[in-house]
A and B are shown apart, each in its own frame.
Chain A
Amino acid sequence: MTTTSTRRTPRPRTGGGPRSQTGVALLFLAPALLGFAVFYLRPMVKGFELSLTRWDLLTDPQWVGIDNYKALLYDATFGRALLITAVYVVVNITTQTAAGLGIAVLMQKVSQSTVVRSLLVVPWLVPNVTIAVITLFILDPNVGLVNHLLGQVGVGPIAFYGNPDFAIITVALVNSWRNMGYTALLIFAGMQLIPKMIYESADIDGANQWKVLTRITLPLIRPILAMVVVVSMIGSFQIFDTVAVATKGGPVGSTRVIYFYIYEKAFQHGQMGYAAAMSVVLLLIILVMSLFQLRVTRAAESDLG
């Protein structure tokens, strides 16, 4: 910072040499750097450290080496939590992307009205907690609207959140419903990047709408689609709110996703160290996915460029 004060004068040549800008840069970066160091970097290091201890938050932590990681290998609940999370991610991402793509095509072909797009994005604006409470009611086996409607056609009643066979699927589909309009907006935005000329020449060639969709639109939005899928997949892995409010991991642990299990261990069972070890594993999984994302994004850039 001292370097700037000595070189305050404007510099007509190139707008400042490297050395003089370091001080200014530090000032511009200071708040973000401080926040990053204290609330991102420090906890990252601490998280690893924590994973090597046994700690109930009350007494002093005990160093246990890699015991927590060894215990993870024999923890069937942990394995099950990973499996349940995987089921959630697969069901959520496939249905959400398929619905989002369909809606995006409709936004493009049928109506480009902002009102339509605004209405379809409403559930995404509503917090997960609220969605969980509303769907708990709508999907209730006794007084819920959905079961009432299913009853009219002779189906059910189905305990969507209450049946261990359906509960995680229900959570996944509820979130797909919440996010499909938003996903559609992202894909729709991608479609707008396709030059209109391409469509016009297809028109002249007399290609029908289906051909335009499958031969032009879909291949050209593939990069954006890939990006949307990977980004939402990373988000999907971190499913917590809906489970925490609607099912609390139940019935009989059928919705105990990895985030919820970590949360339970840390804040309900007082096993901070063990929870930290699990979150290290989760971090590794997400890092691998992020590297994958980076590759996809790079591919996307070169495709669109």
Chain B
Amino acid sequence: MTDTAHTRRHLRPGRILGWAVLILLIVVTLLPFAWAIRTALTPNAQIFSGDYSLIPPDATLLNFERVLGLVDTKTDLEAGGSGAKMYFWLYLRNSIIFTALMVLGQVTTATMAAYAFARLHFPGRNLIFGLFLTGMMIPPIFIVLPNYVLINNFNLINMFTGQLAPYFLVFPFAIFFLRQFFLSIPKEVEEAAHLDGAGHFTIFRRIIVPMSWPPITTIAIIQAVFAWNEYLWPQLVGKDHAVRLLNVALAAFQEASPTTRPDWAGLMAAATLQVIPMLLLLLFFGRKLVGSIALSATK
């Protein structure tokens, strides 16, 4: 971009060095995942016999079969497993439900609230907006304790409702982020619609939301990554298999593995299975995702 012929001539060695460092960084970034996949395909016995070849000599899918619960307990124990059940598809389903509902709920309510803060006049607007802003600063653990008590009192432990409730309706950062965008939309379009007799709901649905699709998807993608990563709250209120998330399941699977001779192959198979959805996300939405992160930084 800034490379004129002049600088390029001078920078040949620098450029090669730059690429070398960049490739090294990419290797350092990705090697642990490659190694996890490689290990997932290796029998446990070989891991403990000190085999470090990049391609496992006796590659097997047994570890994946064990994690997916396709083999009986005896086979699992013989292969170095703990016998702990991992209902992968169930947890995957739960994680997808959790993530999808959280994103849907938060993005909808945040878009609506952001519109009110950006466009409507009502008493106490700045005060309420300020309150939401302080909500961004509260460390989650501080509200996790009383929220746990509340969810417990309503008997919502081990229910999707309880797992989702604290997140579903409100996400202060999204409100703040979207409001910034709405403020930057010129008012003329809406005023014209107003003259045509359109109410606020029509303007919101027909003008604001369609015009703000990029920031809305940005916040949705970032929220999906956040939801997929959530652990503290889901493991407190969602221990039951029926609602257990992949994250919680993987941690439980790790805990069940014997400390003296951990089921590394099984653990890596489980970890690999959890990484795959994110890699798919990157494959299909890579450009959008990278752009979203940039957008979230500059607003």
Residues of chain A at the chain B interface (Cβ within 8 Å): 8, 10-12, 15-18, 21-22, 24-26, 28-29, 31-36, 38-44, 46-47, 50, 57, 103, 106, 109-112, 114-130, 132-138, 140, 143, 145, 148, 177, 181-182, 185-186, 188-190, 192-193, 196, 199-200, 203, 208-209, 224, 228, 234, 237-238, 240-241, 244-245, 259, 262-263, 266-267, 272, 275-276, 279-280, 282-283, 286-287, 290
Cα(A290)–Cα(B132), bound, Å: 14
- The verdict on A133 contacting B250 (CB below 8 Å), with A10-B195, A185-B297, A263-B232 known, is yes
Say whether B181 faces chain A, with CB atoms less than 8 Å apart: no
Q: What total of A-B pairs shows CB separation below 8 Å?
A: 304
28 sample A-B contacts, Cβ–Cβ < 8 Å, listed by A number: A10-B196, A28-B115, A39-B147, A43-B150, A47-B145, A50-B149, A110-B19, A112-B1, A117-B290, A119-B26, A119-B30, A122-B30, A125-B289, A127-B247, A129-B231, A130-B274, A133-B254, A134-B268, A137-B39, A143-B47, A145-B31, A188-B294, A240-B232, A266-B145, A272-B145, A283-B142, A286-B137, A287-B137
- The verdict on A125 contacting B225 (CB below 8 Å), with A43-B146, A133-B254, A279-B145 known, is yes
Query: For residue A41, which residues in chain B have a CB less than 8 angstroms away from its CB?
Result: 131
Are the CB atoms of B110 and A32 closer together than 8 Å?
Answer: yes
The list of the 6 closest CB pairs from A to B, nearest first, reads A35-B169, A35-B170, A43-B146, A189-B294, A46-B146, A110-B18
Are the CB atoms of B293 and A237 closer together than 8 Å?
Answer: no
Interface size class of B (residues with CB under 8 A): 35 or more
Q: Which of A22, A24, A57 counts the most B-chain CB atoms under 10 A from its CB?
A: A24
- The verdict on A36 contacting B294 (CB below 8 Å), with A10-B197, A43-B146, A245-B254 known, is no
Query: For residue B25, which residues in chain A have a CB less than 8 angstroms away from its CB?
Result: 103, 106, 120
Cα(A234)–Cα(B26), bound, Å: 27
B29 to chain A, nearest CB (A): 6
CB nearest neighbor in A for B165: A39
Q: Contact flags (1/0) for B266-299 with A, using CB distance below 8 Å?
A: 0110110011001101100011011001110110
Query: For residue A25, which residues in chain B have a CB less than 8 angstroms away from its CB?
Result: 116, 120-122, 125
Cα(A284)–Cα(B3), bound, Å: 49
Are the CB atoms of B48 and A40 closer together than 8 Å?
Answer: no
CB nearest neighbor in A for B232: A240
Are the CB atoms of B293 and A121 closer together than 8 Å?
Answer: yes
Cα(A208)–Cα(B14), bound, Å: 12
CB nearest neighbor in A for B253: A133
CB nearest neighbor in B for A117: B290
A205 to chain B, nearest CB (A): 12
Are the CB atoms of A122 and B279 closer together than 8 Å?
Answer: yes
Cross-chain contact of A280 among B142, B152, B169 (Cβ < 8 A): B142
B residues 174-201 in Cβ contact with A at 8 Å: 175, 190-191, 194-201
Q: Contact flags (1/0) for B10-44 with A, using CB distance below 8 Å?
A: 11001100110110011011111101100100000
Say whether B155 faces chain A, with CB atoms less than 8 Å apart: no
Are the CB atoms of B145 and A275 closer together than 8 Å?
Answer: yes
Are the CB atoms of B121 and A18 closer together than 8 Å?
Answer: yes
Are the CB atoms of A47 and B143 closer together than 8 Å?
Answer: yes
The interface residues of chain B, by DSSP majority, are classed as helix
Query: For residue A283, which residues in chain B have a CB less than 8 angstroms away from its CB?
Result: 138-139, 142
B16 to chain A, nearest CB (A): 10
Are the CB atoms of A192 and B294 closer together than 8 Å?
Answer: yes
Cross-chain contact of A190 among B140, B229, B297 (Cβ < 8 A): B297
Query: For residue A122, which residues in chain B have a CB less than 8 angstroms away from its CB?
Result: 29-30, 33, 278-279, 282
Are the CB atoms of A21 and B132 closer together than 8 Å?
Answer: no
B288 to chain A, nearest CB (A): 10
- The verdict on A123 contacting B165 (CB below 8 Å), with A29-B112, A190-B297, A245-B251 known, is no
Cross-chain contact of A40 among B138, B225, B275, B294 (Cβ < 8 A): B138
Say whether B89 faces chain A, with CB atoms less than 8 Å apart: no
Are the CB atoms of A36 and B139 closer together than 8 Å?
Answer: no
Query: For residue A33, which residues in chain B have a CB less than 8 angstroms away from its CB?
Result: 113, 128
Are the CB atoms of B231 and A127 closer together than 8 Å?
Answer: yes
Cα(A300)–Cα(B232), bound, Å: 33
Are the CB atoms of A116 and B139 closer together than 8 Å?
Answer: no
Are the CB atoms of A137 and B199 closer together than 8 Å?
Answer: no
Say whether B123 faces chain A, with CB atoms less than 8 Å apart: yes
Cα(A287)–Cα(B293), bound, Å: 25
B228 to chain A, nearest CB (A): 6
Query: For residue A124, which residues in chain B have a CB less than 8 angstroms away from its CB?
Result: 225
